[in-house]
Amino acid sequence: MHSPTLSGSTQLDAYRPLFLPTLLIGDSRLGGISSTISAYESLSLRGYIVDALLLFREDYYQNWEYLTSYFVEKGVPVVAIPPPPARLPSNEEDMFNLESYYKGISESKSSELSEVIAQLTKRHKSRLDELDSMPSRTHTQIWWPFVQHSFMHPNPGSIAVIDSAHKDHFSIYGDHHAPGSDDAGLLLRSQFDGSASWWTQTLGHSNPTLTLAAARAAGRYGHVLFPQSTHLPALSLAETLLAGPGKGWASRVFYSDNGSTGMEVALKMALRAFTRGHPAEGKPGGDRAKKLGVLGLKGSYHGDTIGAMNACDAGDGVYTCEWHDSKGFWFDPPSLVIRDGRISIDLPQALRELASRGGVSEEGFVWTGAKGSLNAAYDVGGRLGTALAQVYREFIEHSLDNIKIEIAALVLEPLVMGAGGMVFVDPLFQRVLIDVVRSRSPLVKPSTQGRWSGIPVIFDEVFVGTYRMGHQTTSTVLGVHPDIAVYAKMLSGGLVPLAATLAKEEIFEAFVGGTKDQALLHGHSYTAYPIACEVANETLKQIRMLAQSEGWKEAASKWTGGVSPNEAAKVWSFWDPEFVDELSRLESVKEVMTLGCVLAIKIDDGGRGNNLQTSIRSLREAHAFLRFKDTDPPLHRRSWVPLGTQILTRPAPTLLVFTSVLWETSGISSPASTPNVKSLLKSRRGSSRF
C-alpha cells in the first residue's frame, strides 16, 4: 500500500494517476482487522474505489467475519477464501497439495474466487453503465452556472464526464472518438484543466497532503460555530494572512464562503466605515445610504450575489439580472498587451486624446525576447513621474470632479480583471487612481478622534492573490496597500470554498460601539469552518516552500534578467518568454499577455468569429492540444481547447485564457525544466494510460 517506490513517494501516490480498479487483499492474522481497515482508509484518502476485499477464511481470529459486517455499509463486498494448506515436509507432496488447493479455490464456478471475479466484472460493468448514462441524466436534472442550456446536448462528448482528476488534468470519460486525438478508443482520456477549474487549483487536483489536512480537521472538529469562539485552524490562518498579504496594514480577518460573499463583506465594511466618518450621509437603511456608490473600472467583476454585482458596471447588459442595481462610477482603463513581441499600452479613446493633446507619446515599451521590458512596464514606482502618469492624474481628477453620486469606496481587481475579460490593466493607472482618491479624502481626520473618515480602498484579490500572479499580493507590485482586501479561490488549495476579508484596524473600529446594531451583522453558518482553514494553512505552507524553490527562481529569472528596479516587486510568468514571444507574432494571434500562471491569447477574427476555427487551427499547429468547449455560439463546441479554458467572444476578438496550477508540484517537472510551454499546451499523458 504505502511501500516506497523509486520516485520516493509511496505506491498509493505513485500509482494514483492510473486510477485502477482496486481489489484489496486483507490480512487474516492477529491485528489484521486493524491493518485492513487502515489500508482501506489510505486507499479512500486517495480516491481509489475498492471493488472488493479478499482475505483468507482463517478460523481462529475470524477477521473476515468482522470485516464483512464492517464493510457492508461502505458497500465493499468481502470475500473469504480458504487459507492455503500447511506446508508438507516433502516438496513433491507439498506441490501436489498446493496445486489441488489452487484448483479448489479457482476452478469451480461456485468457488469464492469465481465470486470475486464475477464481482469485479459486475462492478466494472455497472461503473461503465453509470458513466454512459451520466450525460443524459445530467442534461435533464442539472442546472449549470453560466451555461445556456439550449446550447447543450445529451450526447456523449457534449457534456464532459469527469471520472477523476489528478494534478492539472481531468480524466474524462466518453469522448472516445475525438477527432485528432491520438488515444482514440481509450475509455478515459486525460485532459488539461484549462482554467485550473475556474482558477481554484493551486497544487493540482487530488493532492494527498491537502486531502489529509481536510481529513485531519474533519476528524478533530467537523464544523464548529465561530462567533465568540476560536479554534486553531482559523486563528493560525488569520495570523498567516495578516503576516502575509496583510502585512503592514491589516489587523483583522473576517471569514466567509466564497469570493462573492467575501466582497459583500468588504463592501459592507467600506460603506459603514465611510458613513461612520460622514454621519451626514445618514444611517444604514436610510435612503441616502442605499444610494452610495463605488469607484471602479469598466470590466470589473466581483461575484454574482447582488451586492457584489452592484459594485460592478452593468456594462453591455449581458451580466445582469432583475435586482442588479449598479451603484458607482467606472473608468475605462488602459491595458497592457504584447503584440508582435512588443509590450504596449492600449489607451481608451478619452485618454488617448488627452495624451495626444498634451503631446505625450503613447509610451510603448519594446519587449525584446523575454528580457526586462515586462518589468519596465510594471515598474510602477519608476513610472509615477512620467508624462503619462500626469495624464492619468488629470483625467482622474477631472472625472471625479464631475461625478454626481456620493462615492464611498474604491474597488479594484489589481493588475488583472479576470472574469471581465482578462484585462491586464496598466498598473500605473490603478496606482494613480488610488493616490488621487486618497489625496482627496484624508484617511483619518483628526477631528473625528481617530475614527475612519476617508474613502476606503478595496482590493479584490480573489483571482490575482495568493500567488496566481506570482506574488502573494499584488500590493507589492502596485506599491500601495489597500484598506480592505479579499482572498478566495486558490486560498483553500482548490479543494473547498473559503474567503477571507482582511481589514485595517480603523475599518474594524467603525463597527465597535455600545450596541449590537453597530457590529458587522453578517455571517454564514459555516464561517471559518475548520476543514477549509486547515486546508488553507497547508496550502500556504506548500506555496511558501515552492516560492523558495530553485524552479520558481529560475522561471522568474527568465523574465527578470534585465531590469529589476525593485527586487521584491518584480513580475514574472510561469509561461516561458520565448513561447509567449512566438505566440504574439503568429498571424492569427492579435495579442497575448501573461503574468504568473495566466496566459491570455486574443485571436484576431475580424470581430466576426468566422475565422475562429482557422485561428484555433494555427494554435494547433503550434502543438497546442486544445479542446474547444466553452464557446458561444455553439458552433465551435467541438473544436480543440481544453475544458474550462475561458473563451470570450464578447468583446471581439476572441480571447483564450489558460491558467495552470503552480507547476512545480503539478507533477511532471518544474517550469525551469520545461521551458517549452508548447509541451504544456500539449496535453500531458500519464493518467488512464499504461
- Give the closest residue to 606 by CA, choosing from 635, 649, 637: 649
Min dist. Cβ of residue 566 to a copy of itself (A)? 29
Q: How far apart are CA 484 and CA 664, in angstroms?
A: 31
- Name the region of 224 (left: φ>0; alpha: ψ -120 to 50; beta: rest): beta
Task: Out of 25, 128, 147, 403, name the contact with a copy of itself by CB under 8 A.
Answer: 147
- Contact pattern for a copy of itself over residues 577 through 616, marking x by CB under 8 A: ----------------------------------------
**Is residue 274 a contact partner of residue 507, using CB atoms and an 8 Å limit?**
no
Residue whose C-alpha cell reads 500601495 in the numeric block:
480
Min dist. Cβ of residue 445 to a copy of itself (A)? 20
Min dist. Cβ of residue 66 to a copy of itself (A)? 6
Residues in the chain, overall count:
690
DSSP 480-494: ---SEEEE-GGGGTT
Task: Out of 98, 117, 212, 547, name the contact with a copy of itself by CB under 8 A.
Answer: 212
Residues 436-495 that bind a copy of itself (CB under 8 A): 488-489, 494-495
Is 345 or 528 the residue whose CB approaches a copy of itself more closely? 528
Task: Out of 524, 585, 617, 682, name the contact with a copy of itself by CB under 8 A.
Answer: 524
CA distance readout (Å), 222 to 258, 533, 537: 19, 12, 16
Does residue 156 touch a copy of itself according to CB under 8 A?
Answer: no
Task: Out of 232, 444, 563, 635, name the contact with a copy of itself by CB under 8 A.
Answer: 232
- Give the closest residue to 392 by CA, choosing from 348, 422, 423: 348
Does residue 186 touch a copy of itself according to CB under 8 A?
Answer: no
Q: Which residues contact 371 (CB under 8 A, 6 or more apart)?
A: 561, 562, 577
- Contact pattern for a copy of itself over residues 627 through 646, marking x by CB under 8 A: --xx-x----------xx--
Is 49 strand, coil or helix?
coil
Task: Out of 522, 623, 638, 682, name the contact with a copy of itself by CB under 8 A.
Answer: 522
Q: How far apart are CA 249 and CA 243, in angstroms?
A: 10
**Is residue 466 a contact partner of residue 201, using CB atoms and an 8 Å limit?**
no
Question: Nine-digit cell at 49?
Answer: 474505489
- Give the number of residues in contact with a copy of itself, rule: CB under 8 A: 167
Name the helix (H) or strand (E) containing 658: strand 654-659
Residue whose C-alpha cell reads 504574439 in the numeric block:
584
Is 171 or 560 the residue whose CB approaches a copy of itself more closely? 171
- Give the closest residue to 469 by CA, choosing from 487, 482, 481: 487
Does residue 662 touch a copy of itself according to CB under 8 A?
Answer: no
Min dist. Cβ of residue 679 to a copy of itself (A)? 23
109-138 burial by CB neighbour count: b if 16+ within 10 A, else e?
A: eebbbebbeebbeebeeeeeeebeebbeeb
**Is residue 341 a contact partner of residue 309, using CB atoms and an 8 Å limit?**
no
Residue whose C-alpha cell reads 469552518 in the numeric block:
529
Does residue 185 touch a copy of itself according to CB under 8 A?
Answer: no
Min dist. Cβ of residue 549 to a copy of itself (A)? 14
Min dist. Cβ of residue 329 to a copy of itself (A)? 16
Does residue 516 touch a copy of itself according to CB under 8 A?
Answer: yes
Is 272 or 431 the residue whose CB approaches a copy of itself more closely? 272
Does residue 665 touch a copy of itself according to CB under 8 A?
Answer: no
Min dist. Cβ of residue 198 to a copy of itself (A)? 4
CA distance readout (Å), 461 to 177, 482, 484, 485, 557: 40, 11, 10, 7, 25
Min dist. Cβ of residue 214 to a copy of itself (A)? 5
Task: Out of 317, 359, 385, 446, name the contact with a copy of itself by CB under 8 A.
Answer: 317
Task: Out of 85, 180, 219, 442, name the contact with a copy of itself by CB under 8 A.
Answer: 219
Min dist. Cβ of residue 150 to a copy of itself (A)? 5
Residues 75-134 that bind a copy of itself (CB under 8 A): 130, 134
Task: Out of 284, 381, 382, 686, name the contact with a copy of itself by CB under 8 A.
Answer: 284
Candidates 110-118, 193-201, 379-387, 433-441: pick the segment binding a copy of itself (CB under 8 A): 193-201
Task: Out of 28, 200, 560, 687, name the contact with a copy of itself by CB under 8 A.
Answer: 200
Candidates 96-104, 106-114, 148-156, 443-451: pick the segment binding a copy of itself (CB under 8 A): 148-156
Is 4 or 358 the residue whose CB approaches a copy of itself more closely? 4
Candidates 192-200, 347-355, 471-479, 665-673: pick the segment binding a copy of itself (CB under 8 A): 192-200
Q: Which residues contact 163 (CB under 8 A, 6 or more apart)?
A: 19, 131, 171, 172, 173, 188
CA distance readout (Å), 37 to 53, 172, 219, 269, 389: 10, 30, 16, 49, 66
Residues 381-420 that bind a copy of itself (CB under 8 A): 408
Task: Out of 28, 258, 639, 683, name the contact with a copy of itself by CB under 8 A.
Answer: 258
**Is residue 213 a contact partner of residue 233, using CB atoms and an 8 Å limit?**
no
Is 481 or 489 the residue whose CB approaches a copy of itself more closely? 489
Does residue 66 touch a copy of itself according to CB under 8 A?
Answer: yes
